[in-house]
Structure 1
Amino acid sequence: MDPWAPSPGPDADDAPSGTQSGGDPVRDLVQAAVADRPLDEVVDLISSLERSPEHTRAVVDALRAAGVDRPVEDVTRLVALLTRPPREAGSADEVIRAAAAHRPVEDVTRLVALLHREPLPPHCREEAL
């Protein structure tokens, strides 16, 4: 069983990435926003969702979708944005884990190289390894 796959529940499916929603309208909306919005807006959306405990699942779905579906360069920039103070690095870690688990090896290799160039907390780089 994939430890990064959505946990079983009424809104979970067996999709390895954030690209399939199983018909949950909130998940569909969040994934569409993450796929098409500028990264600053994605961070704002994630921050807003994080403030509401009832949106925990949507936060995880958004982070995973961004890590899997956005271009590698966007993933690197998103990680940098998600680790800016006063934010904790947990959201960035989720993005990196999703990318490392579900992207092609070439993408992961590029992501690791780009993360080493960014001024990030050391554990963010290590997460991709």
Structure 2
Amino acid sequence: MSDYRYKQLFYDICDYREIHDSYGGKNYDLVLCHYPIFSWKGMNKGTILLYGHTHNSAEDVYFQKCLTGMEANNCRHVGDKPIQAYNVGCMKPWIDYEPRSLKEIIEKYHNIK
């Protein structure tokens, strides 16, 4: 399939996007990035990173351990809210190759931890 055909299927195709969403009467700031990143806008204020790329791998486990270490060591970009970065790769069992709402992502992610 050509790039043009992909572009017709989606509103936008990009590497990084900052968006807002809500559920349950609460507003959320989100950063969407294909890749896990160690610092994103608003991470110290509760902004959630939704990422993929790492699949079910040791790389993803290491990334999450690094974020935990950043919190434990009061790194520069850590604020008074916990760091939230969720791997939403389609192959994750709780994603199961289906689009998921923010509510489903947050609730299911907290249930598997």
Bin for the TM-score computed over the shorter chain = 0.3 to 0.5
Between structures 1 and 2, the one with greater strand share: 2
For normalisation by structure 1, the TM-score amounts to 0.32
| More helix as a share of residues | 1
TM-score, reference length from structure 2: 0.35
Larger Rg: 2
